[in-house]
Amino acid sequence: MGRISLVVSDLVLSFMWIWAGVLVNILVHGVLGFSRKDTTGDIVRYLFSVISMFVFAFLQKLTKGGLYNPLTALASGVSGGFSSFIFSVVVRIPVEVLGSILAVKHIIRVFPEIGKGPKLNVAIHHGALTEGILTFFIVMLSLGLTRKIPGSFFMKTWIGSIAKLTLHVLGADLTGGCMNPAAVMGWAYARGEHITQEHLLVYWLGPVKATLLAVWFFNVVFKPLTEEQQEKPKAKSE
């Protein structure tokens, strides 16, 4: 029952995440009337984006682990052992992709004039490297926050949100700064571009390899240091 509820949560959160991004843009540029080239509009949009990330962090906590990003599911699966890895790859990630595809289809039906999702503005290998680097740093940060401040919801969410937003801004003009293959897949599927070399290399292969590298690097370099710090107080008490 626990895994079924996780899968349902993944589907719902993936659907909601795509809609949240679209609604933020509609609110800022449509309702509030800020130009897309207006710096003030960008600041307001970033503010709403951070609020959105706090809402989704709360929903993840409420659903006891529901996810909307396949890279987070992959990192969790790799860290959790073989059974967790298979469950993430075979079930959770496809469900998150499905949720994103359904969301984009629904959005296009409701708002036919809406944009077409992220666009690659550089060469394919440059784009794959960009998404890979952004993903590596955000996965490393997420793993570090989980280990270092496991109980502080606000602080952990605040640091994670600002980091994600910063990395997104850095990569926005190159690849869209997505760091979420499912979200890109939803828009690419709607355009019929979900099996192109560009999409697979830039938004899947690059981030997936970066996620695996980040998990391995964290476990090799930082995990032993964390365990050593935890053992020192025990040794002193003895």
- Residues 6 or more apart whose Cβ sits within 8 Å of residue 23: none
Model pLDDT for residues 77-101, shown as the tens digit of each residue:
998 888 999 999 999 999 999 999 9
Q: Are 69 and 205 in contact (CB under 8 A)?
A: no
pLDDT above 70: percentage of residues in the chain: 91
Summary mean pLDDT of the chain: 89
- Look up tokens 């995990």; give the residue: 223
- Look up tokens 């997505």; give the residue: 178
How many angstroms separate the CA atoms of 117 and 7, rounded? 25
pLDDT at 149 exceeding the cut of 70: no
Model pLDDT for residues 10-19, shown as the tens digit of each residue:
999 999 999 9
- Look up tokens 């800020």; give the residue: 34
Q: Are 65 and 6 in contact (CB under 8 A)?
A: yes
